[in-house]
Structure 1
Amino acid sequence: MKKNKLLKVLTFIGTGMLSMSMLAGCAGNSTPQAGNNNTASEQPKAPADGGKYIVMGTNAEFEPFEYREGSEIVGFDVEIAKAIAAKAGKELKIEDMEFGTLIVGLNNNQMDFIAAGMSVTEERKTQVDFSNPYFTSKQVIIVKADDGSIQTADDLVGKKVGVQLGTTGDLFVSGTDGVEVLQFDKAPLAVMELKNGKVDAVVIDAEPAKRLVEGQDDIKVLDAPFTEEEYAIAVRKGDKELLDLINSVIEELKQNGEYDKIFEKFFDVEE
């Protein structure tokens, strides 16, 4: 996607960012170096923990934001996290755990921040502080290719719907009257049960949904989105020092062109 098309996709990012993956991993081996447009006195300080590492918490089942290539976790969010680590003067360490346990792990000091395609919700804002948004996504519906009974979100009523536990897809669907919700630890497991006929549909974020149906003739993604949302990076409540540093990295990546490069690396781009 050329710069002008990318800007259309990212119109909301005036405040800052498509966090994500970049860091999160999708398959990134390069480490974007954040530019420095501030004076030394204006620079946000690195977290004063005195440690060698800065730790990113994620769930590496969310391609292209974070996923495994062999033994390595890569992705869009991972690349962003690498830039955060570089700015902090630390080495990046990644803790991979179930999505639904990430906020608990953050608040138990198992990690310094969460970069996991995490949507900003009012409930989550009571538990963590969020960076400026770095990515706009939407929840979509995956169904069997020959299923004509589900065309929109309204058609999920009376159906069995698979979701990944703790995701916004889970929250939205679980709050819909008349829908039987089946929760799975990993999105691919929900899709497998759709293929096996155990659920009628799966609700999941758009980009991972594309990867999950790619090359498969028996399932498809519906054109009608379930809902739209923004991703951001989460830190512990009151950790303003780290939050300021993360926001500065997001802004620098946008300003120096590295964000565009990371985006094109992990997403299908139209020339």
Structure 2
Amino acid sequence: MNKRVKLILCVLVISLISVGLLTACSAGNQESDAKDDKGKAKVEVQAEPTFLDELKETGVIRVGSTPTGPPFTFLNPKSNEIEGLMVDIASLVGDELGLKVEINAIQFSSLIPSVQSEKIDLVSAGMAITEDRAKVIDFSIPVYSYGGGLVVAKDNNEIKQFEDFSGKKIGVQEGTVYANYMKDYPEIETQTYKSIADMVKELKFGRLDALIGDYPIVARMLAENPDFKKDVKLVREYKPKEVVKIGMGFPKGTDEFQDTVNAIIQKLQENGELDKLLEKWGLK
């Protein structure tokens, strides 16, 4: 074989090798594109649905409200339905989200456990925002603020301020901010009850010296119950030891839902709808 033929053959061989290498590199690049840095196949991961996504999927918000906290939430004996300021706010939240609102009547002390276990999706009641509660559930921005109200027997003119509680029997509703801070005063004999109505009855029969409850609730209860007003009175000169803010309660980790509800509450504040509701329920 002469030198010219050998040269042509060498050029052909080199060309074939080059084409093979390019093809291999191309295939290798395609394969590496489908793998991660460790050579493992890439898997496309879909985002987990949020709490709000799940609510929209069901089409319902399960709301927990207590039947014994007028004007925030209470049972209407004629309709046998829960009504009040916080029920109205929950309904407007549902309207904005396009979701049906399902009101569940729950004792106040069971509201937080119910939302923690996701038996309900939202607490909408006269619940004060406190540090202890915020450790286990999350809260919306405040919708209303108020102080405690002091109720005593009609003929009692001795108990007018917190300083007068020492050595007395004071009733508080279980699960409330009042029940919590009274633990710091061992010199005061504190008794807890399921409802303010139960405390008023105990006060009438002389088994309590006084009771503390949310001012709007006790004021409304006495105004609407002539039988109570005959035996007990609201101490007008009482200066509350605390001023509380109430808001809606959420399960922990539901940030998108909270942000959405907060935006709705802000809208209600800005467009005057919240003021109308406060006036409707005698809170403004």
TM range (shorter): 0.7 to 0.9
The answer to which of 256-265 and 208-217 deviates more is 208-217
Which secondary structure state, in structure 2, belongs to the residue aligned with residue 67 of structure 1?
Answer: strand
Question: Which residue is equivalent to 1:11?
Answer: none
Q: Does 1:48 align with 2:60?
A: no
Q: Please, which of 51, 58, 62 is the counterpart of residue 69 of structure 2? A: 62
Q: Aligned pair count?
A: 225
> How far apart are the structure 2 equivalents of 1:46 and 1:248?
17
Alignment of 1:58-207 (within 5 A): 58-69=65-76, 70=78, 71-207=80-216
> How far apart are the structure 1 equivalents of 2:118 and 2:261?
18
- Normalised by the length of structure 1, the TM-score is 0.80
Which secondary structure state, in structure 1, belongs to the residue aligned with residue 53 of structure 2?
Answer: coil
Letter in 2 for 1:48: D
1:119-163 Cα shifts (integer Å, max 9, x gaps)? 111111100111111111111211012112211011111011111
1:255: how far off? Answer: 1.4
Question: Which residue is equivalent to 2:244?
Answer: 229
1:52: how far off? Answer: 2.3
> How far apart are the structure 2 equivalents of 1:144 and 1:150?
10
Taking only the aligned residue pairs, the percentage that are identical comes to 29
Which secondary structure state, in structure 2, belongs to the residue aligned with residue 253 of structure 1?
Answer: helix
- Normalised by the length of structure 2, the TM-score is 0.76
Of structures 1 and 2, the one with the larger relative CO (CA 8 A, separation 6+) is 1
Does the CA-based 8 Å contact 2:63-2:121 persist in structure 1? yes
Letter in 2 for 1:74: E
> How far apart are the structure 1 equivalents of 2:283 and 2:132?
32
Does the CA-based 8 Å contact 1:160-1:182 persist in structure 2? yes
The answer to which of 128-137 and 208-217 deviates more is 208-217
Note closer, same or farther for the CA distance 1:268–1:128 as it changes in structure 2 (3 Å cut).
closer
Root-mean-square deviation (Å): 1.5
